[in-house]
Amino acid sequence: MQFHLNDISHQSWWPVKDFKSLKSCVSKTFHMMTTNPANPDTLHVLYQNSDYIVVDKHWDIRIDSKMWYEKHTVQAQLRHHFPQLADPSTYYGFRFCHQLDFSTSGALCVALNKAAAARAYRCFKDRTVTKAYLALIRGWVKEETLTLDFSIGKNSTEGKTHMMCIEGTEGCENPKPCQTELTVLEYGMYDGDSVTKVLLQPLTGRTHQLRVHCSAIGHPIVGDFTYSSGTDNAPYRMMLHAHLLHIPLDPEPLLVSAGDPFIPTVDSKWLPQHSVRTLTATVEALLQRRVEEDRRVKEEESERVRKEEERRRHRKQQRSVKESEEQRRQCQEWLSEWAGD
């Protein structure tokens, strides 16, 4: 089974019954990506049904906030565009299925009712969700594919408590295992400096994971002020974008693409020089690996169930044998007693 996501940069969502029947649908609300700041009208909906809305979150906007001065949030945008869908039983009116950092743009799934939120939550909890992010990172990464394997914990150092850090860093508390797959797409220049365009697939879901992992290998994300010790403040945004989101919902999974904002027609400071692989082919391969992994997990689960059933039948047979032997013994005793009488 092979995937062919034709012209993925111009398609935003694919509802799929299963991986065998992938159907692509061109969004009727395709928008021009921009370097302009967010405002209440800049909400772009990638997908919507009776249970979910998937939006293309703008960069430098919070999902929600309890602070009175935080006027521009995704929650406020949703209330502005869809006041009839807000749920008064929730604090924010909408149930966000996952998180994106303030500086990160891209696909964000919102549940429209409690049951839908629970179904999505189970997928995230069971780690069956597939996410992939586009990023521009500083320097040229030598290895074209990397598995970044650094445990990440909370930074307790004074002045850095808003940050995360890798295990072994001074002040690192409660580090947990984290893995990220990095795939190089292009090499080029950003505003005169060497950068690499990569696809990042988080295999775990720790706070700031992608930012910390890229920084840990000496290739921080372009525009990441926090994890560049406050030095990378020239770009208009942090170059991290949630490009792909697949949630295996039942009965109809969601496969959503939020496009590619890191192209010269959007930001002329980004000048690609050498392409290693296309985004489309890389995403196809990622999804194919996920299909194979899901198949392997299902086969292992089927084998586990089969073996457990065999053990159950064996135990039942052993009990039957023991019961038959006990019955024969009692019968012999009765016959002996009868013969004696």
Looking from the CA of 189 toward its CB, the CA atoms found within 13 Å total 6
Q: What is the mean pLDDT of residues 107-122?
A: 95
311 occurs within a structural domain: yes
Annotated active-site residue in 101, 224, 232, 267: 101
CATH number at 49 reads 3.30.2350.10
Q: How confident is the model at residue 200 (pLDDT cuts 50, 70, 90)?
A: very high
Distance between CA 20 and CA 27 in Å, rounded?
21
- Which pLDDT score, from 0 to 100, does residue 97 have? 95
* 136 phi and psi angles, rounded to 5 deg: -105, 125
Kindly state the tokens that stand for 313. Answer: 């039948």
154 occurs within a structural domain: yes
Q: Are residues 319 and 267 in the same domain?
A: no
Q: Is 281 left (phi over 0), alpha (psi -120 to 50) or beta?
A: alpha
Q: Are residues 183 and 59 in the same domain?
A: yes
Kindly state the tokens that stand for 136. Answer: 């521009």
- Which pLDDT score, from 0 to 100, does residue 313 have? 83
pTM: 0.82
- Picking from 233, 249, 277, the residue at the C-terminal end of a domain is 277
Residue 109 has pLDDT above 90, yes or no: yes
- Which pLDDT score, from 0 to 100, does residue 306 have? 86
What's the domain range around 26? 10-277
Q: Are residues 160 and 272 in the same domain?
A: yes
- Residues 89-105: tens digit of each pLDDT: 888 889 999 999 999 99
Q: Are residues 117 and 254 in the same domain?
A: yes
Tell me which residue has tokens 């942090």.
238
| Mean pLDDT over each residue of the chain, to the nearest integer | 86
As to burial, measured by CB atoms within 10 angstroms (0-12 exposed, 13-18 middle, 19+ buried), residue 64 is middle
Q: Are residues 239 and 329 in the same domain?
A: no
Q: Are residues 218 and 314 in the same domain?
A: no
Q: Are residues 320 and 260 in the same domain?
A: no
Q: Are residues 169 and 301 in the same domain?
A: no
Q: Are residues 261 and 301 in the same domain?
A: no
Element (H, E) at 301: helix 279-340
101 is catalytic: yes
Q: Are residues 188 and 323 in the same domain?
A: no
Q: Are residues 216 and 320 in the same domain?
A: no
Distance between CA 93 and CA 104 in Å, rounded?
22
Domain count, the chain: 2
- Residues 243-290: tens digit of each pLDDT: 999 999 988 899 999 999 999 999 999 999 999 999 999 999 999 988
Q: Are residues 299 and 239 in the same domain?
A: no
Instruction: Quickly list DSSP for 181-247.
Output: EEEEEEEEEETTEEEEEEEEEESS--TTHHHHHHHHTT-PBTT-SGGGTT----SSS--EEEEEEEE
